[in-house]
Amino acid sequence: MADDRGAFIWYELMTDDPSRARDFYAAVVGWDIDAENSVPDGTMDYRMINRGDGGFAGGVLALSEDMLANGAKPGWFGYVHVPDVDAAATAFVEAGGAIHMGPNDMAGVGRMALVSDPQGAVIYLMTPTPPPGNPDARSDIFDVVKARHFRWNELWTTDQAAATALYTSTFGWTQEGAMPMGPMGDYLFIQHDGVGIGAIGKAQPGGEGSRWQHFVGVDDIDRACAAVNDHGGKLLGEPQQIPGGEYSVYAHDPSGATIGLVGPRKESTQ
DSSP annotation string for 130-169: PPTT-TT----SB-SS-TTSEEEEEEEES-HHHHHHHHHH
215, 261 in Cβ contact below 8 A? yes
- The pairing of strands 110-116 and 122-128 is antiparallel
CA distance 17 to 135: 35
CA distance 212 to 121: 6
Q: Give the pLDDT of residue 107.
A: 81
266, 222 in Cβ contact below 8 A? yes
Reply yes or no on whether the pLDDT at 92 is more than 70: yes
Per cent of the chain over pLDDT 90 is 79
Model pTM greater than 0.85?
A: yes
User: Sorting pLDDT into bands at 50, 70 and 90, what band is 3?
Assistant: low
Q: What are 110-143's pLDDT values in tens digits?
A: 999 999 999 999 999 999 988 888 878 889 999 9
Within 13 A of 218's CA, how many CA atoms are on the CB side? 31
Q: Give the pLDDT of residue 130.
A: 83
CA distance 124 to 236: 26
Helix axes 85-94, 160-171, angle to 10 degrees: 160
